[in-house]
Amino acid sequence: MTDLETEPNPVATVEIIPGGPVHGSIRPPGSKSLTNRALLCAMFARGQSTLDGALHSEDTEVMIEALRKVGASVVAFNQGRTLTVNGVAGSHASPTDGTLELFIANSGTTIRFLTAALSAAGGRYRLHGVPRMHERPIGDLTNAIQPVLKGTIEAISLGGCPPVEIASEGWREGVIRVRGNVSSQYLSGLMMAAPISGQTTRIEVDGELVSKPYVEMTAKVMESFGASVECQESGQHNTAYTIAAGHYAATRYEIEPDASAASYFWGAAAITGGSVRVEGLSRNAMQGDVRFCDVLAQMGCEVDYQTEGITVTGRGLRGVDVDMNFISDTVQTFAVVALFAQGPSRVRGVAHNRFKETDRIGDLARELRRLGARINEHDDGMTIVPPQDFANFSGASLATYHDHRMAMSLSLAGLRMPGVKIEDPACTVKTYPNYFFDLEQLIGRSHHWRSE
């Protein structure tokens, strides 16, 4: 070996060991979406709030650390599952002699929610993150804020991407317009920022609204903290939200288990012909991703909705054509389940998935092909043609692109296919640090680990 040659860097992997049908019950950790929304509302409330069932993960820690830098007191108990938040309600850190630097890592909810909230609260801030964060567009959000902003806001990377620089004296009363087909988190961030501004704010959505259940969730969280949210709909693509002038009030808030995380365990039942009950969720859950079970039912699974749990029982799977715009965070789970169906499956309505932690259409397609599937990419999704013969599959090492959902969803293939190795399994720390441990407990056998 010459001085210029180097050995390839080993990659940490976990290999999922195939077995029979998966049977059992599990309670996933708290919802990331609810935790970060509740944290923001509690931060700008008057008094002390308590959040029960909170998620302890990288994404929520990023939010908590940012809120602490801005002036909130956040104390964790019960291994991070209980949080007390002393709200600032107008007394946040608003530097006049410099800019407050906030590191956001790759947390999309954190940067989008805080960009809107801090522009409404006032002050000078610079929000930045890891290199991938600086490739994720946020210009639609900063452009939407401009008409009501008393100050300046700019996404300074090419293509309207972070870092975001804010110099604000708050919002004036007015109308905000935002495109609805890029990310529902833009609209959610604007909605949650409105009570912080102290102004009555009307937000008009241009075009189709993606992931609408997440916006409905945002409104419910806001109302739990005392805000008034009114939705007006006229026609298929004409939606507006009016948030009355006021402020958030401290409260005790219960956070549901994460429905996006639950999809992996329901998927395990579907793929293996087993039966898995996820505790703590129901058909009436705030999170729209429980509707993933409806998709599994279309594929042939039995779904039993109870008051405090949802059980999926796997049956012979068939391919389906489904619009997953409303549950786009479960597309990767669905894609892996579709590998084991009779006939092709088509996913529609998720063009915005290309702008997540990774390109969740193109990169997902690449890894599914390693598993023997034939994939046709479309502008708004993909068609999945299952492998014709699993008997000749000899294993594959699957890249995760540092995307937690790629790691968790692709791991399910290993429940039926030998030699499936997931690279960089630690990336699940973003939303579910104990995922692989919980999967081991559910299936009753150990994974094979290879460290770096």
Between 14 and 90, the higher pLDDT residue: 14
Residue 177, both tokens: 């317009």
Proportion of the chain above pLDDT 90, given as a percent: 86
**Average pLDDT, integer, range 361-381:** 96
**Average pLDDT, integer, range 32-53:** 97
**Average pLDDT, integer, range 186-206:** 95
**Average pLDDT, integer, range 322-334:** 95
Q: Quick one: pLDDT band at residue 332, thresholds 50, 70, 90?
A: very high
Residue 384 has pLDDT above 50, yes or no: yes
The pLDDT of residue 207: 86
Q: Does 323 participate in catalysis according to the annotation?
A: no
396-427 pLDDT, tens digit per residue, is: 999 999 999 999 999 999 999 999 999 999 99
* Nearest in space to 358 (alpha carbons), one of 413, 410, 320: 410
Helix, strand and coil in the chain, % to nearest 5: 35, 30, 35
The pLDDT of residue 229: 97
Residue 145 has pLDDT above 90, yes or no: yes
Round to whole Å and give the CA distance between 329 and 323.
13
Residue 93 has pLDDT above 70, yes or no: no
Asked if 55 contacts 431 with a C-beta cutoff of 8 angstroms, the reply is yes
Which residues are CB-neighbours of 35 under 8 A, at least 6 positions away?
51, 54, 55, 60, 63, 255
Q: Quick one: pLDDT band at residue 94, thresholds 50, 70, 90?
A: low
203-250 pLDDT, tens digit per residue, is: 999 988 888 889 999 999 999 999 999 999 876 668 999 999 989 999
CB atoms within 10 A of CB 220: 13
Predicted model pTM: 0.89
Asked if 60 contacts 39 with a C-beta cutoff of 8 angstroms, the reply is yes
140, 258, 289, 329: which is the annotated catalytic residue? 329
The pLDDT of residue 211: 83
**Average pLDDT, integer, range 307-326:** 96
C-alpha distances in angstroms, 308 versus 279, 330, 389?
6, 21, 39
Residue 179, both tokens: 């495109």
DSSP state of 398: E
